[in-house]
Structure 1
Amino acid sequence: MNSQIQKLYEIAGKTERLIIGLMSGTSMDGLDIALCKCKNSGPETQVELLKFITIPYQDDFRADVKSIFSKRDADLEKVTMLNEKIGLVHADMILEALQTWKVDKNSIDVIASHGQTIFHAPKSLHGKAEYPNATLQIGDADHIAVKTGIITLADFRQKHLAAGGEGAPLAVYGDYLVFSKADEDRIMLNIGGIANFTFLPGDLDAGKVFSTDVGPGNTLMDQFIQLHKPGKYYDEDADMARSGTLNQALLVALVNEKFFKIDFPKTTGPELFNLSYLETAQKASNTLNLSKEDVMATLCHFSAYGIIDAIKRTVKSSAMPKILMSGGGMHNPLLVSLLRQALPKANFTTTDELQINPDAKEAVLFALLANETLAGNPINFGDREGVPSVCMGKISLPK
């Protein structure tokens, strides 16, 4: 037997594995690196976050990636070269994190890499009947595996697509395993570039579990401030948004989009919710001369609208589930206050309550996906469109 396959077999047979989960989202502020101890698999899964760090991207590297991000006419040569470069940069960041933590790389069983999404194209967005759901993440896993010397699992979203899903969101798989609680309905709300949540019923029926995108989280606000405030990447403490006023006409134009009427689960991205989308809404509402502060305030209300509407459509009774937040948007005080005002019966908290740093949650989820691929079996979520019962991730060997 190939020695690398033998090693993989031995790792899969362990009851406890050390897995590094990686996440780089649409904000492209840096690479989230989570060192996780994963015990068992399936419903018996236990995860402990041992170490976490976000290593920021250098400005020139970020600009390089943004030059091809979410662009239909991206330079194909640049895409090809960045596929390799991102893998190498991420590998260097992993080695840097391990050195900072004083952790021997030989103690790590596997790396779980999400990669960098550069284009997301579900049928609901591209609208071409002759083409399937599609998505593309780059940052070659072979480069990560060879440079770190650690077996790497990556490209998780492709199996989801192949099995009938839209490639996102994938949180449902990890959320169900480790965050479900008997007799307590939960919503695991992640407010990243795109806002999404997983609904976890208290009766633990996997057939009722689903994860869905609900609309823009930070992406439109981030894009807007980056355009008008060079050097800033987000509206820190909602300073600009809180100094402005909601414009109702612009909000009505922003929410006039078929995505919000599509049933769950569904997925979207900056390919739809971008500055062109905002400009179209401003033209339709005759608000092109609106102050930057009022636009930002309205964009924050727009993000809140998608989340609030989706939660209300999910919860059919007066008993509101516990809502556990994660992602960068949970640090936006205006956005969170709008959610609390609209959902006064909800108990809002964060995944800190579950001993998972909310900023690390997405990276931890990919570690869990890798753990299931190695040691678990597909969880039966029922025969439902968009929630295929599969294990995900391609395996790259370092030798």
Structure 2
Amino acid sequence: MLRTLLNKTSLTIAGLMSGTSLDGIDVAIVHIAGRGAETNIKLLHFESLPFDEEMREKLKRLCTIEHSDVAQVCGMNFAIAERFADAILQTAQAANMDMDDIDLISTHGQTIWHIPVADEDDRFLPKSTLQIGDLSVIAKRTGKPVVGDFRTADMAVGGQGAPLVPYGDDLMFRDAEKGRILQNIGGIGNCTALPSVKADGGMIAFDTGPGNMVMDQVVYELSAGELSYDANGDWAAQGKVHNELLADMLAHPYFQEPPPKTTGREMFGKAYASAWLATALSQGVSHADIVATATAFTAHTIARGYQEYILPHSDIAEVIVSGGGAHNRTLLRMLGELLPAQTILMSDELGISCDAKEAILFALLGNAFIQGEPNNVPAATGAERPTILGKLALP
């Protein structure tokens, strides 16, 4: 099986993404031909399969020190792998494809904890990361080879293990004439700045901070669990930004750190959002104003990240947004107001579904692994050198 896979000139890969937003599983079945800069991509089918509320809330708890334990992490590693495998099988069925039509599965896994910088006071807390969703379980259930656990190899050569998307962003979006920023807004926001082909200067990439994570948790709690997110940004549009609360949020130390930098639920997850919400409610701020302020927080952290670390070095004409946050019209309006010199686009306008983009990127990372091509970007992660990310499980 492996020999056949290595000898193929093109592969059909199911890329699987389950991000920090914890809203569900995205699966993109992609036909990929070639390697490196000559890679050609065709999306064959995409499905987004939501988590049920019980699994989503259990995952949130696992991402906190206070409510997690080793038995729960151990069990969820297999339980979510079963869910990943089901998602692959369901997507193949929806695409009217047999599993024999798929050569490879490439999965990000579910991040439970991420330590991008070593704890100097504890030698047992080095730079490290944990993504669950066991590769062997997925391989055995689907009958296909599975590549995953990408972040650890980058950390092994000195990187922060993220962001991983710049590899695919460069392949899909670098333009001959225009500088672009690719902004994904999932649970966490991450950006990749791509100077035009003819321009001097290299790629810059980093996590801008919370994407949907704080907004979603605030909406969930304010609605007593009836809503998991602010659809279209409609609730935020009814409120006004509370500038003092916003200023306090923007004073967080993360936003003063220069790239390379990454973050996640360990910093801006449920505990952070719930504590901030309690403060806002104690000051008598209305629900609509709270949601508007949480939305502005994401917009300002994105724009400030550009203004401090990208725009002084690169001529950027377009910001291309993807991820669930691309559907939040209020968020995009705020972003446009903060970045008047740049055109804000959804990646759909360039032929790449904003919902499918990250799953496609993981298909590309899996293809690079099979081709023996380095698929990290040291300028983005801080790694000492390019290296091949990923581990392989066989059925």
TM-score (norm 1): 0.91
What is the match of residue 367 of structure 1? 363
Displacement of 1:284: 8.1
What is the match of residue 268 of structure 1? 263
> Residues of 2 paired with 1:185 and 1:319: CA distance?
6
Displacement of 1:63: 2.9
Displacement of 1:105: 0.4
CA deviation digits over 1:206-230, x for unaligned, max 9? 9711321011111001011111211
What is the match of residue 330 of structure 1? 326
Tell me if 1:254 matches 2:249: yes
What is the match of residue 291 of structure 1? 286
Alignment map for 1:20-169 (pairs within 5 Å): 20-123=14-117, 128=121, 130=123, 131-169=125-163
* 1:305/1:142 CA distance change after superposition, 3 Å: same
What is the match of residue 394 of structure 1? 391
Amino acid at match of 1:392: L
Amino acid at match of 1:256: A
CA deviation digits over 1:211-253, x for unaligned, max 9? 2101111100101111121121101122221222111111111
State the 4+ residue runs in structure 1 displaced beyond 4 angstroms.
Answer: 126-129, 204-207, 278-287, 379-385
What is the match of residue 298 of structure 2? 303
Q: Are the aligned partners of 1:19 and 1:108 in contact in 2 as well (CA < 8 Å)?
A: yes
What is the match of residue 220 of structure 1? 214
> Residues of 1 paired with 2:322 and 2:80: CA distance?
25
* 1:355/1:63 CA distance change after superposition, 3 Å: same
Displacement of 1:286: 9.8
Displacement of 1:353: 3.2
Tell me if 1:8 matches 2:2: yes
Which segments of 5 or more consecutive residues in structure 1 lack a partner in the other structure?
1-6
> Residues of 1 paired with 2:51 and 2:164: CA distance?
24
SS in 2 for 1:123: coil
Q: Are the aligned partners of 2:63 and 2:266 in contact in 1 as well (CA < 8 Å)?
A: no
Q: Are the aligned partners of 2:22 and 2:187 in contact in 1 as well (CA < 8 Å)?
A: no
| Percentage of identical aligned residues | 38
TM-score (norm 2): 0.92
Amino acid at match of 1:367: A
Q: Are the aligned partners of 1:145 and 1:152 in contact in 2 as well (CA < 8 Å)?
A: yes
What is the CA RMSD across the aligned residues, in angstroms?
Answer: 2.4
- Pick the aligned partner of 1:354 from 340, 350, 353: 350
Displacement of 1:51: 0.4
> Residues of 2 paired with 1:368 and 1:268: CA distance?
23
SS in 1 for 2:352: coil
Displacement of 1:117: 1.1
- Pick the aligned partner of 2:272 from 277, 280, 294: 277
Moved more, 301-310 or 270-279: 270-279
Displacement of 1:168: 1.3
- Pick the aligned partner of 1:176 from 170, 173, 192: 170
* 1:43/1:368 CA distance change after superposition, 3 Å: same
Amino acid at match of 1:121: I
